[in-house]
Amino acid sequence: MLLPRTLFDSLLASFMQNGRTKFIQDLFPSEVLQAQYDAATDPMQKSFIGLMLCYAGGDPIDMRAIQKTFSVQLTPLKKYINKVIRFP
C-alpha cells in the first residue's frame, strides 16, 4: 500500500521505535495501482484497489459517519502498535 511519503515515514518510524524491529520498504509508483484497477474484473477487487489509490494520493477519508453507523471506536496508533507487536 502506498502512503504519502511523510505519513509512511512517520508510521514506519513509530512501528520500529515501539516494536524494536526493522521493516523493509517496497515502494512502487501509483501507476502500478492504476494499471491493476484498470485491469480488475471483480467488483470487490476494483473497490479495494480504488481505496488504495485514494490512500496513495493522500486523500483523507472522513471516518465519522462510519464510526456513528457501526459504533466503531478507533484505536490510537501507539496503542495499536503495542497490541500487535509482542515484546520478548
| 77 phi, psi to nearest 5 deg | -55, -50
| pLDDT tens by residue, 5-27 | 566 677 778 877 776 667 776 77
Rounded distance between C-alpha atoms, residue 62 and residue 64, angstroms: 6
The pLDDT > 90 percentage for the chain reads: 16
When the pLDDT of each residue in the chain is averaged and rounded to a whole number, the result is 78
In this prediction, residues 61-71 reach a mean pLDDT of 81
The pLDDT > 70 percentage for the chain reads: 78
How distant is the alpha carbon of residue 45 from its chain centre?
16
Give the pLDDT confidence score for residue 1 in this predicted structure.
42
In this prediction, residues 61-73 reach a mean pLDDT of 80
Query: pTM here?
Result: 0.49
